[in-house]
Amino acid sequence: MAKAKDIVHRHPKDPAALLDVVRDVQAAFGHVPDEAVARIAAHLKLSEAEVRGAVTFYHFFSADPRGASTVYLNDSITSRMKGRAAVAKAFEDEAGCAFGRVSGDGRIGLFPTSCIGMNDQEPSAIVDGVVFTRLTPESARALVRGLREGRPAASQVAELGDGANQSELVRAMVANNIRERGPVLFGAHESGAALRKAVGTTPEKVIEEIKRAGLLGRGGAGFPTGLKWEFCRREKAVERFVVCNADEGEPGTFKDRVILTELPRLLFEGMAVAGYAVGARTGVLYLRSEYAYLRAHLEAALEAMRQDGLLGRAAAGSEGFSFDIVIKSGAGAYICGEESALLESAEGKRGEPRDRPPFPVSSGYRNLPTTVNNVETLATAARILVEGAAWFKAMGTPQSAGTKLLSVSGDCGRPGVYEVEYGLTLAALLEMAGGAGAKAVQVGGPSGTCVAQDGFGRKICFSDLATGGSVIVFGPERDIFEIVGNFMDFFVEESCGWCVPCRAGNVLLKKKLEKVVRGLGTEADLRDLEAWGKLVKATSRCGLGQTSPNPILTTMKSFPELYAAKVRKGEDFVPEFDLEAALRTGCEAAGRRPECKESLHE
């Protein structure tokens, strides 16, 4: 095995290399031992405390051993709906340890993880970097047995998925599940056509075309892409960057994964077009760690494009334009999808959001002007250049032009990705996806909206149900409170912890919700939930905290009767715990009888 010293010294003496060094150490040792922390700190001129800060921030790094093999089992609500509990039990039985632990022989570590972008094929897990989908208790047991017998995870992938998932460089059992091919992303595209068209005109004209198309960011916030590029271009600077946000962390979205798998060249061409438009020489693809299995495939696509003259010096034959793309890896943190946290992470730091202003367009990657765009936005931009703004504007609604790639999962017959025009109603989408009869639909993931049946006439578009792409269908039997509880756990787990309302407020909201769900709530508790939710939204520092109370607030709106039925009407106060039960052990030990009923309820 390589020594920590050698691994560390392979990297430049630059603090920006921190996450890359830690990643290599983690891969070699299964954790980041103290000795390595000291070496990394010395090499990068950081304090050991700072190195530990980065190691402990990311879910896939660890100061303690995680086992010779490590299972990360997805903990999204859809995974739970599709039988996660039985699969988890099978893993535990076979490994001989509980989740959060490493087996006694040190061979198997079991850990939960936030949505890994496989919601249409749950339950799923990442085992030593290899994705396993549609797990059953049997396949989980066989997998652990195989690992114990010394068969690497990759060799245990029995059946490959469709499309490029079968290629030599991917070899994944992941399925694309492309259910609806629209004209924008899945329309016939001649590789290089968009970039050649771009370099044949001026950057200003490219920006103008994107603006006229009315392209709004597909990552969730919906900022006009042309305007973002223009702001970035206008900044005086020695260098500018294009950063592609491939962090795709919102539970329930997986559409960027399909683009990365099937249309990487279209995406990279979009990045090059953006690079030409804003005047950048370098593009950075920030790839979530969960999609590391696609990295070799993506590198190969980049290399092929260099061979084709579409990247590198004089890209697309344009003498004055050089552009190339590097891939940076995440390490397990939803917050790194927030653009400024992403930039921090890409610079090798803890993924903590920055204060804005300044916005990334003026001070982004390495404090230089940067346009951060979603995978789908960039791929779409490339298509707009080829087909024209008018073609694009003719689709969708006046305010929400074009098509959207949706990730549909949950209780529906045809989970997968759908490229649909904006303006589609939920009812129509449910019809397409085989989800008629649903009780509720979660649009936009946990940070979005929970829509009940009476809202199924609402439309997917920026002015009504805006979404980064996550659509989770809940059938009639689902327990809304279990869903809300899972979403709140997600935010508690994924908050970066920087600011008070999000760090502490989400914990308090979750506790209050539990009180209500346990039947110990009063009407005052419901008022608290609402007020505290508003407080967290109003005072949090970034988009995570500003939306994290949504699971509670939006279900209180869509399902008021469920909440009303849970609380005790007319009672002023019910403590959050059962005093008698809490005293029981102590009383038994002392040989007394608990007598607290009277004083409590009279």
Residues at the site binding another protein, with contacts judged by CB under 8 A: 41, 45-50, 52-53, 56-57, 333, 335, 350, 355, 357, 492-501, 503-508, 511, 528, 532, 535, 538-541, 576
| Residue in 247, 290, 419, 421 binding ligand FMN, rule: CB under 6 A | 247
Evaluate whether 59 touches 114 at the Cβ level (below 8 Å): yes
Q: What is the CA radius of gyration of the chain?
A: 25
What's the min distance (Å) between Cβ of 110 and another protein? 20
Note whether 507 binds ligand SF4 by CB under 6 A.
no
Note whether 543 binds ligand FMN by CB under 6 A.
yes
Tell me the number of residues near ligand SF4 by CB under 6 A. 14
Note whether 393 binds ligand SF4 by CB under 6 A.
no
Q: Which is nearer to ligand SF4, 268 or 487 (CB)?
A: 487
| Residue in 63, 221, 395, 562 binding ligand FMN, rule: CB under 6 A | 221
Measured CA to CA, the distance from residue 311 to residue 173 in angstroms comes to 31
Note whether 220 binds ligand FMN by CB under 6 A.
yes
Three-class secondary structure of residue 290 per DSSP: helix
Q: Which is nearer to ligand FMN, 217 or 521 (CB)?
A: 217
Which one of ligand SF4, another protein, ligand FMN, none is in contact with 221 (Cβ closer than 5 to 8 A by kind)? Answer: ligand FMN
Q: What is the number of alpha carbons within 13 Å of residue 91 lying toward its C-beta? A: 31
Note whether 535 binds ligand SF4 by CB under 6 A.
no
Write each residue from 494 to 533 as x if it is in contact with ligand FMN (CB under 6 A), else as -, in one continuous string.
----------------------------------------
Note whether 199 binds ligand SF4 by CB under 6 A.
no
Q: Which is nearer to another protein, 8 or 194 (CB)?
A: 8
What's the min distance (Å) between Cβ of 355 and another protein? 4
Using the rule CB under 6 A, give the single segment among 82-90, 95-103, 182-190, 246-254 that binds ligand FMN: 246-254
Tell me the β-bridge partners of 450.
442
Tell me the β-bridge partners of 130.
127
What's the min distance (Å) between Cβ of 543 and ligand FMN? 2
Which one of ligand FMN, ligand SF4, another protein, none is in contact with 357 (Cβ closer than 5 to 8 A by kind)? Answer: another protein
b (16+ CB within 10 A) / e for 455-473: bbebbbbbebbbbbbbbbb
Q: Which is nearer to ligand FMN, 123 or 543 (CB)?
A: 543
Evaluate whether 442 touches 422 at the Cβ level (below 8 Å): no
| Residue in 253, 373, 495, 547 binding ligand SF4, rule: CB under 6 A | 495
What's the min distance (Å) between Cβ of 205 and another protein? 32
Measured CA to CA, the distance from residue 102 to residue 98 in angstroms comes to 8
Evaluate whether 419 touches 184 at the Cβ level (below 8 Å): yes
Measured CA to CA, the distance from residue 41 to residue 46 in angstroms comes to 5
Measured CA to CA, the distance from residue 198 to residue 185 in angstroms comes to 18
Q: How many other β-carbons are positioned within 10 Å of the β-carbon of residue 484?
A: 26
Q: Which of 112, 162, 102, 153 is nearest to 132 (CA)?
A: 153
Q: How many other β-carbons are positioned within 10 Å of the β-carbon of residue 414?
A: 14
Note whether 218 binds ligand FMN by CB under 6 A.
yes
| Residue in 185, 277, 335, 441 binding ligand FMN, rule: CB under 6 A | 335
Which one of ligand SF4, another protein, ligand FMN, none is in contact with 46 (Cβ closer than 5 to 8 A by kind)? Answer: another protein
Evaluate whether 256 touches 288 at the Cβ level (below 8 Å): no
| Residue in 112, 203, 217, 469 binding ligand FMN, rule: CB under 6 A | 217
Three-class secondary structure of residue 471 per DSSP: strand
Note whether 533 binds ligand SF4 by CB under 6 A.
no
The residue type of 486 is N
Ordered strands of the 101-102 beta sheet: 101-102, 108-113, 69-74, 125-127, 130-132
What's the min distance (Å) between Cβ of 391 and ligand FMN? 20
Note whether 541 binds ligand SF4 by CB under 6 A.
yes
Note whether 542 binds ligand SF4 by CB under 6 A.
yes
Measured CA to CA, the distance from residue 54 to residue 346 in angstroms comes to 12
Evaluate whether 271 touches 325 at the Cβ level (below 8 Å): yes
Q: Which is nearer to ligand FMN, 245 or 397 (CB)?
A: 245
| Residue in 363, 373, 442, 540 binding ligand FMN, rule: CB under 6 A | 373
Q: Which two tokens stand for residue 184?
A: 């924008």
Which one of ligand SF4, another protein, ligand FMN, none is in contact with 223 (Cβ closer than 5 to 8 A by kind)? Answer: ligand FMN
Q: Which two tokens stand for residue 376?
A: 């789908």
Strands 69-74 and 125-127: antiparallel
Q: Which is nearer to ligand FMN, 248 or 464 (CB)?
A: 248
**SS (HEC) of 481-547:** HHHHHHHHHHHHHHCCCCCHHHHHHHHHHHHHHHHHHCCCCEHHHHHHHHHHHHHHHHHCCCHHHHH
> Cβ contacts of residue 383 below 8 Å, gap of 6+?
184, 185, 187, 189, 194, 266, 392
Which one of another protein, ligand FMN, ligand SF4, none is in contact with 505 (Cβ closer than 5 to 8 A by kind)? Answer: another protein
What's the min distance (Å) between Cβ of 448 and ligand FMN? 12
At 33, give phi and psi (nearest 5°). Answer: -70, 160
The separation between CA 574 and the C-alpha centre of its own chain, rounded to angstroms, equals 38
Q: How many other β-carbons are positioned within 10 Å of the β-carbon of residue 133?
A: 21
Q: Which is nearer to ligand SF4, 118 or 336 (CB)?
A: 336
| Residue in 70, 329, 374, 558 binding ligand FMN, rule: CB under 6 A | 374
What's the min distance (Å) between Cβ of 519 and ligand SF4? 30
| Residue in 545, 551, 552, 555 binding ligand SF4, rule: CB under 6 A | 545
- Site residues for ligand SF4, 353-382, by CB under 6 A, read 353
Which positions touch ligand FMN (CB under 6 A)?
217-221, 223, 245, 247-250, 335, 337-339, 372-374, 377, 542-544
Which positions touch ligand SF4 (CB under 6 A)?
335, 353, 495-499, 502-503, 540-542, 544-545
